[in-house]
Amino acid sequence: MFSNLDAGVTSISVDHRDFGAFNYQVTVTGTVVDSQGAPLPGATVIEKGTSNGTQSDFDGNFSIQVSDPNAILVVSYIGFREVELPLEGETELDITLSEDTAKLDEVVVVGYGSLQKKEITSAVASVSTEDFNQGNVFTSEQLLQGKVAGLDITKAGSDLNQPFSIRLRGVSTLGANSTPLIVIDGVIGGNLDLVDPNDIASIDVLKDASAAAIYGTRGSAGVILVTTKKGSYSEKATLNYSSYVSFDEPLNDRRIRPATAEENIRFGGVDFGSNTNFEDEILRTGVSNVHNLSFSRNNGSTNYRASINYRDIGGTLVDQGFEQLNARINISQNFLDDKLTLGSIVSVTKREINYSNPAALRHASTFSPTAPVYINDDPQQGYFETFIEQQYNPVAMIKLNPHLGVRKNFLGNFKLDYKPITGLNLGMSYSIQSTNEQQGVYSYSNSRAGAEATNGRARRSSYDQINELFEATGTYTGETDDWAYTALLGYSYQTIVDESFSVENTDFITNELTFNNLDIGNGFRDPEGVRATASNKQESLLASFFGRINLTFKDNYYLSASYRREGSSKFGQNNRWGNFWALSGGAELTDLFKIKAFNSLKMRVGYGVTGNLPSQNYAYLPTLGAIPGQQGYVDGSFLPAIQPTSNPNPDLKWEEKGELNVGIDFALMDYRISGSVDYYKRNTKDLLNVIDVPSPPNLFNQSLVNLGELESNGFEVQINFQAINKADFNWEISANAARNVTKLIKFNNDIPEGGGLLRGEGIAQNGSYAAYIQEGERIGNIIAPTFAGYNSEGLPYFLDEEGNRTTDNQEADIFTVQGNGLPDLTAGIANTFRYKNWDLNFFFRGAFGHDIANGRRARYEHAGYVGIQNPVITDGFTEEDKGLLVWHSLYVEDASFVKLDNATLGYTIPLSDDSVLQKLRLYISGQNLFVITNYLGSDPEVRYLDRGRGIGRTPGFSGNPQYGGDILVPGIDRWELGQYPNRTITLGVNISL
């Protein structure tokens, strides 16, 4: 080396290497940007092999002095793939980082803390803003639909006021909560209504028990952790505005067609002299307007983000929609040299809902199309009615039965974090979440539906819930040469108080005031008047102690153990406390086995025990009350007969689920392909369930008990592939698939062998059953008599046990399993393209192998019943059929489907440097653009639960729903619900400054 110098070489540039050992400095400057050219502030730039490094500034610019013009720079940024860049003499660099789809450094929220993705040892999925569904997304769960393997978020039909059903890894309980626990910014049991989808930064899903056990009691159905947006570190404040307008239309090719007036008459219907398509009369294009405005600032000490969100959502059913205003402030401030952080979140939502009358949908297909909307087509003369039993003019059903509601939610959250010494964080939080919903329904005196013979009927109801949570945690993080560890200890106490109140009055002298002045009605004054009142207040308490240890060895081996001891007021003294725990470990195998083909190959194994609570608060306690319609008669007058209202079960205890999860996370082809595969096996014991009990000795023939055993297993695959990753063209594919099979191992010791339970009553009419639950069998079996053609009179033949044809379907033993309501496989695949300033995303979602009991066809697709109801006509319709309201195998249909769930095209308008705008993006988005399926019903979406028969009859009161339906009876398309899917087109703009 020295010889050259001795040789008198004057230019150091002649041979850079020779001078490497000297403290000689080369200044290299550059800019770090992402693949779309946006600067990346805070990116780390390090000279390889040294501790010499710097960070990029707010504009992505950096400057570093290196010792060697041929040095190698290592540039990294969270969420992006690290690059190593040999300088080769260059001193000015434009560095483009591409997103790291494997996201090994990404921070994943795991409940009471977070881990880097590579440290995760259980089944956790994380979805952040850029992966969220776009379009007219007005509830937070829609953001995730189809994005996480094993997480099914579904809703048949398009009633925007109906909640989605959320299922993680199928069914794990019979009678307890089957919806994942929602935790929003640490608030357990958070209400998604309180979070505008626009304010969500990321959603993490704890899928298996080893992840969820830290939430012990309510983790059995999985946990969904929602993190809202905060101010991001920036020199100046940012302002974001986004807006869209959406147009919803019924997906016409999926609507079940009612017979036309001409057909109705041909089938023998009464001709009322008109020709009306009642579906067209009550369906419309729903228009929605949404505006979101947020501003934020984070200077490292003060961090705030404030947002206001306005949504005016119009449904496709006339009058249906809601108008919502939500405001949210996330704020935190550091004190004492950043050792103390105080934070607060306040969120307020008001939603004014018009429920319309969804029951009108089924009447729209069954009400005679020969009827006019108005008597003599003259609105002044009122709505035309046919006066056929239980058939009502659908337009009148909506217009004469207004059903409105106001939902008000409030969240106040106060947080304190104190770091007395390095590595130790003491945290404390208190939150109060309040939910209030008031509803009102009025049935006009001239309405046949709802008001019959009551001369106007008004109902009001109010439901309130206050959820208070106090938590204290201590976390200590430390490391030695080989080990890194985090230990957590915590305490949590939660109270939930529910109150409800309802009043019904009738006999109104005027319809003008609808339900706004109940005293105008005479129902309470008239001794024989129709009236009702009810009120209820309940409380439940939860206390818990928990801890967790995470260990990392040599950055390649990971171990996690957690424990939660939790007590609930819902059980008797001796059964209150339950212990829930989990153990999981992971190992990065690429180093260990020198696997070259993979950039990362991590194996995970975990086992955990989680619990589940009953919905009933006092089921263990013998309590007394009055039963409606069961007044006591004493000395010639009536009084409430105080008596037990249910069978108490003092032995009620926790439902426990054990789950084993084995998974592999991998990345290969220079991280272009990454993904994970999980297999799980879960077993739930002491299932909480309402079962038949003998009478005597019981007062009632059903009790809530711990009984039976469920077992399920399944796998999940999630893969990301960066097909093309060029500076101005980028194509990314993200796919997931999941399979779950749930078996009922044991239901009731006392059921005779081969016995089972008939469920899903009323599929075609009273007493027809569509579901059969039997020990050792899969959940979700659909039963029906086997159809074997029509006889000469057009009545269906069924096969009896010997295989002979019979027309008698009363014999229960000719019912056989015809299908299963749960899918064999669910899958989603998203493609994202970026070309210069354009971005295009389309997302297909499908479910395969599930069947649906098509109650609408069984009930309505009969020309012979035209005297009562107008038939519906699908491709399965035949005039040969003279059967009526009949249930058989013809109506159990394969409902596998693929949907183009979402397609979005966006354009980011290039802005000059001096523009006041930071970003301006326009997009057009389509949801549910088409459906490919053989299902003859309107919506082949999986029905994860059965909402039963009562629904859709009269405008209902929500009160406190018991998890929305029967999860043992999936796959039923009820005739009571005239569901049809929507197609939505959205035009939107995003602006940042």
Partner 1 sequence: MRKIKFLFFVLAVFGLSRSCTELDSEVYSEITPETFFQDDAQLSSAASSAYTTLYRWWEDMWLMDMPTDQSAMPIRSNRGWDDGGRWPAIVRHDFPPQDDIFNGAWSGYFGGVSSCNRLIEIFTENVGSDSPIVFELRALRAFYYYTLLDLFGNVPLETSFSDANPAPEQSSPEEVFAFIESELLEVIPGLSEDKGATYAKMNKWVAWTVLAKMYLNANNYNAGDHWVEAAEAANNVINSGAYQIEPFYFSNFMVDNEGSQENIFVVPYDKVNTGEQFAIIRRATHQSVTGTLDYPAGTSWGGVSIQEDFYNAFEENDKRRGMFFIGQQYTIEAGPTWSEEIGFFYQNPIDEYRLIDCSEDVDRFVGVLDQLPPEAADCNVNIVPEYWFTNDGRTGYENGARYAKWELETGPENTARQSNDYAIFRYAHILLIRAEALWRMNSGSAEALMLVNQVRERAGVDPLDILTEDDLFWEFKKELAMENHARTILIRYDRWLEPWFQKEQQDSSRNLYPIPLNQLNANPNLEQNPGYN
Question: Looking only at residues 624 through 643 of this chain, which bind partner 1 when binding is defined by CB under 8 A?
Answer: 624-625, 627-636, 638-643
The pair phi, psi for residue 46, each rounded to 5°, is -130, 140
* 94, 482, 539, 670: residue in contact with partner 1 (rule CB under 8 A): 539
Residue 538 Cβ vs partner 1, minimum distance, rounded to whole Å: 7
Torsion of CA 326, 327, 328, 333, to 10 degrees: 180
- Which is it for the CA torsion 761, 763, 769, 772, positive or negative? negative
Please list every residue from 252 through 281 that binds partner 1, using CB under 8 A.
Answer: 267-270
| CB 845, min distance to partner 1, A | 37
Nearer to partner 1, 629 or 803 (CB): 629
Task: Kindly tell me which residue out of 315, 864, 970, 971 binds partner 1, with binding defined by CB under 8 A.
Answer: 864
446 near partner 1, judged by CB under 8 A: no
Question: Which one of residues 448, 459, 460, 899 is an interface residue with partner 1 (CB under 8 A)?
Answer: 448
Decide whether 235 or 880 has the Cβ nearer to partner 1. Answer: 880
**Binding track over 820-859 against partner 1, x by CB under 8 A:** ----------------------------------------
Number of neighbours of residue 860 by Cβ within 10 angstroms = 26
Closest of 209, 415, 145, 369 to residue 273, by C-alpha: 369
- Cβ at position 452, least distance to partner 1 in Å: 5
Residues paired with 899 in a beta bridge: 845, 931
* Alpha-carbon span 693 to 892, nearest angstrom: 32
User: Is residue 576 within the footprint of partner 1 (CB under 8 A)?
Assistant: yes
- Side chain identity, residue 788: A
Q: Which is nearer to partner 1, 64 or 688 (CB)?
A: 688
For CA atoms 879, 885, 886, 891, the dihedral sign is positive
Candidates 240-248, 439-447, 747-755, 923-931: pick the segment binding partner 1 (CB under 8 A): 747-755
Q: What span, in angstroms and rounded, lies between the C-alpha atoms of 873 and 880?
A: 13
Site string for partner 1, 880-899 (x = CB under 8 A): --x-xxxx------------
Q: Are 195 and 355 in contact (CB under 8 A)?
A: no
CA distance 926 to 908: 18
Stretch that binds partner 1, among 158-166, 564-572, 675-683, 981-989 (CB under 8 A): 564-572
Nearest distance from C-beta of residue 816 to partner 1, angstroms: 16
Q: Which stretch binds partner 1 (CB under 8 A): 31-39, 107-115, 438-446, 537-545?
A: 537-545
Q: Does 810 bind partner 1 (CB under 8 A)?
A: yes
CA 313, 318, 320, 325 dihedral sign is: positive
Site string for partner 1, 763-792 (x = CB under 8 A): -xxxxx------------------------
Contacts of 136 (CB under 8 A, 6+ apart): 244, 246, 248, 288, 290, 313, 925, 927, 984, 986
Considering the complex, state which of residue 8 and residue 636 has its C-beta at the smaller distance from partner 1. Answer: 636
**For partner 1, the closer CB: 143 or 773:** 773
Shortest distance, CB of residue 624 to partner 1, whole angstroms? 4
281: phi then psi, degrees, rounded to nearest 5:
-70, -25
**Which residues in 494-523 contact partner 1 (CB under 8 A)?**
495, 506-507
- 8 A C-beta contact, residue 881 and residue 865: no
Q: State which H helix or E strand residue 156 sits in.
A: none
- Residues between 402 and 431 with contacts to partner 1, criterion CB under 8 A: 416, 418, 420, 426, 428, 430
First-to-last alpha carbon distance for the chain, in angstroms, is 54
Task: Please report how close the Cβ of residue 571 comes to partner 1 at its closest, in angstroms.
Answer: 9
- Return the bridge partners of 302, or none: 333
Task: Tally Cβ neighbours within 10 Å of residue 242.
Answer: 18
Spatial CA neighbour of 918 closest among 36, 18, 30, 9: 36
Check: CB of residue 881 under 8 Å from CB of residue 862.
Answer: yes
Q: How far is the CB of 139 from partner 1 (least distance, A)?
A: 31
C-beta closer to partner 1: residue 69 or 567: 567
Binding mask 685-704 for partner 1 (x = CB under 8 A): ------xxxxxxxxxxx---
Please, are residues 602 and 664 in contact by the beta-carbon 8 Å criterion?
yes
Q: Does 812 bind partner 1 (CB under 8 A)?
A: yes
Task: Choose among 357, 347, 251, 353: nearest CA to 312.
Answer: 353
Residues 470-499 that bind partner 1 (CB under 8 A): 470, 472, 491, 493, 495
Positions in 327-356 near partner 1 (CB under 8 A)? 336, 340
When the beta carbons of 564 and 602 are compared against partner 1, the nearer one is: 564
Least distance between partner 1 and beta carbon 148 (Å)? 34
Q: Which of 528, 753, 802, 913 binds partner 1 (CB under 8 A)?
A: 528
Looking only at residues 647 through 686 of this chain, which bind partner 1 when binding is defined by CB under 8 A? none
Which CA distances in Å does 250 have to 162, 255, 277, 811, 931? 16, 8, 14, 40, 13
Print the binding letters for residues 283-322 with partner 1: x by CB under 8 A, - otherwise.
----------------------------------------
Q: Is 445 helix (H, G, I), strand (E, B) or coil?
A: coil
d(CA 599, CA 602): 10
Which candidate, 211, 801, 218, places its Cα nearest to that of 467?
A: 218
